[in-house]
């Protein structure tokens, strides 16, 4: 009995039904996938990392540079009184070529004039450690740091702008797909209604209550409706393809999109002036372009630094190791000093660089004004558009209500035999009802898109 129970516990899970795959995709998940896969966002992230490294590199220019060098010297040949280590006169004897010289500290092999006899050869190794500390360079290092810092700030805002653009693109495409699906449902309903109407005309034609012309007109309207359904199906397919491209994930045909709750449509709870002021301080694109003015000023400062001298503190310590690579206190040396340099003549390069920097600064100011006008105009249009869409939803609701009531009344009158021209009246009222349904769907999604567009321009769009 125990073995039977154990067998069932081990084998029953093997025959259990597999977990159902994800069949519903909501907007939040679509945004998350897009932020992971969107190439513009990934490029902006890489640019931010590069800007951060550039700022770090610019900061390091304020600190001293320490370097080490190793020199190897091989000498082979004869010394003369005019050559390396040759006789210099007096009674000091042979002064030698320095550490590593095989005659170093020895009077052997010298001729009467203190010069070595014959040919000699020797190897010499020396090591030097040097330090260089910038003291003054006309502000080049400072302006370089300003350029890097502003570049990092701009990269951060550009990343935010890229993320918000990706979020807006996903939401708009998601809403377009839902709109296309609902419009397709409306077109199919219209096709079904016209199909029933054609059947009614055929039945009335047999009893003499309809003419051949009525049937041909009804069939023509049905054919047009069937064509519209095919077009609507293609639009749904294209919007799903666009949504797949935006989020970077292939959508299976079996995946359904979760609806978006509209809620009670309402106008913005802030004024247009408040929206414009908020966009000036929050819109990442506008914040980034405002930083470009500081960038242009830094370029002018960097160009002006070329007119100033460069002053550096330099220090060094080294030692000669001879042929045996041995360190000796007698063979070391050190140096410290200050160096200054200035370009006296560089043709007209510095003047041209300064003129170019100032021209770029003026150009940047104009570009800032243009960008600000474009964004703020977009905010104003989006604000007014959102207000208009709220009114459109109300109007479309009234139109649909009136058209629906007219169609119901038409069907009741027809059932009672009170309609004289059945074909003309029905097609006209059905068309009005169909257009009202389409308008209601479009108004709802236009409102949702306008709300997200305004939030994006104000820099407040969120996943």
Identify each DSSP E strand in 156-258 by its residue range: 256-257
What does the alpha-carbon distance between residue 368 and residue 280 come to, in Å, rounded to a whole number? 12
DSSP output for 114-135? S-B-SEEEEEEEEEEEEEEEEE
Q: Distance between alpha carbon 67 and the CA centroid of its chain, in Å?
A: 39
pLDDT of residue 414: 64
349-415 vs 422-457: helix crossing angle, rounded to 10: 150
pLDDT of residue 73: 79
pLDDT of residue 255: 79
As separate numbers, helices (DSSP H) first and strands (DSSP E) second, the chain gives 9, 6
pLDDT by position in tens, the chain (length 463) = 444 333 433 443 443 344 344 578 899 999 999 999 888 999 999 999 999 999 999 999 899 999 998 888 777 766 544 444 444 444 444 444 444 444 444 444 455 555 455 566 767 778 889 999 999 888 899 999 999 999 999 999 999 999 999 999 999 999 999 999 999 999 999 999 889 888 877 887 777 767 788 788 888 989 999 999 999 999 999 999 999 888 888 877 677 889 998 778 888 899 999 999 999 999 999 999 999 999 999 999 999 998 999 999 999 988 877 666 666 666 778 889 998 888 888 778 889 999 999 999 999 999 999 999 999 999 999 999 999 999 999 999 999 999 988 888 877 776 555 555 555 577 888 888 999 999 999 999 999 999 999 999 999 887 7
251 three-class SS: coil
What does the alpha-carbon distance between residue 78 and residue 82 come to, in Å, rounded to a whole number? 11
pLDDT of residue 239: 93
DSSP strand pairing (65-78 vs 24-25):
unpaired
pLDDT of residue 417: 55
Residues 6+ apart with CB under 8 A from 256: 23, 24, 25
Report the CATH fold assignment for 24-60+138-311+359-457: Outer membrane efflux proteins (OEP) (1.20.1600)
Residues 6+ apart with CB under 8 A from 55: 145, 148, 149, 151, 152
pLDDT of residue 18: 41
pLDDT of residue 418: 57
What does the alpha-carbon distance between residue 113 and residue 89 come to, in Å, rounded to a whole number? 8
pLDDT of residue 331: 73
Which tokens is 259 given?
């609806």
Which tokens is 18 given?
């597999």
187 and 232 Cβ atoms separated by less than 8 Å = yes
Which tokens is 122 given?
């020797």
Rg (C-alpha) for the chain, rounded Å, is 43
Annotated domain spans of the chain: 24-60+138-311+359-457, 71-136
């Amino acid at each position: 009995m125990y073995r039977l129970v154990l067998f069932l516990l081990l084998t029953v899970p093997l025959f259990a039904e597999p977990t159902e795959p994800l069949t519903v995709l909501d907007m939040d998940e679509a945004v998350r996938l897009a932020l992971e896969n969107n190439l513009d966002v990934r490029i902006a992230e890489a640019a931010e990392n590069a800007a951060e490294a550039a700022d770090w590199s610019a900061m390091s220019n304020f600190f001293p540079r320490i370097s080490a060098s190793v020199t190897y010297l091989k000498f082979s040949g004869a010394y003369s009184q005019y050559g390396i280590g040759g006789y210099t006169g007096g009674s000091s004897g042979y002064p030698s070529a320095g550490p590593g010289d095989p005659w170093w500290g020895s009077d052997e092999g010298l001729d009467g004039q203190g010069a070595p006899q014959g040919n000699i050869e020797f190897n010499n190794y020396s090591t030097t450690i040097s330090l260089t500390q910038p003291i003054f360079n006309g502000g080049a290092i400072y302006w370089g740091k300003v350029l890097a810092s502003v570049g990092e700030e701009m990269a951060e805002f550009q990343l935010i702008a890229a993320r918000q653009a990706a979020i807006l693109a996903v939401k708009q495409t998601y809403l377009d797909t839902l709109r296309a699906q609902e419009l397709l449902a409306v077109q199919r309903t219209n096709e079904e209604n016209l199909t029933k109407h054609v059947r009614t005309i055929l039945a009335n034609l047999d009893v003499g209550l309809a003419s051949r012309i009525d049937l041909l007109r009804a069939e023509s309207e049905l054919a047009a409706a069937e064509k519209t359904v095919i077009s609507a199906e293609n639009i749904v397919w294209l919007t799903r393809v666009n949504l797949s491209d935006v989020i970077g994930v292939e959508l299976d045909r079996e995946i359904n999109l979760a609806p978006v709750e509209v809620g009670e449509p309402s106008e913005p709870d802030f004024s247009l002036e408040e929206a414009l002021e908020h966009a000036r301080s929050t819109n990442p694109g506008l914040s980034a372009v405002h930083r470009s003015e500081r960038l242009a000023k830094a370029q002018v400062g960097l160009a002006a630094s070329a007119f100033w001298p460069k002053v550096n503190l330099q220090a060094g310590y080294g030692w000669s190791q001879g042929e045996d690579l041995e360190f000796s206190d007698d063979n070391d040396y050190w140096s410290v000093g200050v160096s200054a340099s200035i370009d006296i003549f560089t043709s007209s390069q510095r003047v041209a660089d300064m003129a170019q920097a100032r021209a770029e600064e003026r150009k940047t100011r104009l570009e800032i004004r243009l960008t600000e006008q474009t964004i703020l105009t977009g905010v104003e249009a989006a604000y007014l558009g959102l207000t208009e869409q709220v009114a459109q939803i109300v109007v479309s609701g009234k139109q649909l209500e009136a058209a629906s009531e007219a169609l119901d009344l038409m069907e009741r009158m027809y059932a009672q035999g009170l309609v004289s021209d059945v074909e003309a009246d029905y097609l006209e009222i059905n068309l009005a009802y169909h257009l009202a349904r389409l308008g209601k769907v479009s108004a709802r999604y236009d409102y949702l898109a306008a709300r997200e567009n305004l939030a994006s321009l104000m820099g407040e769009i969120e996943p």
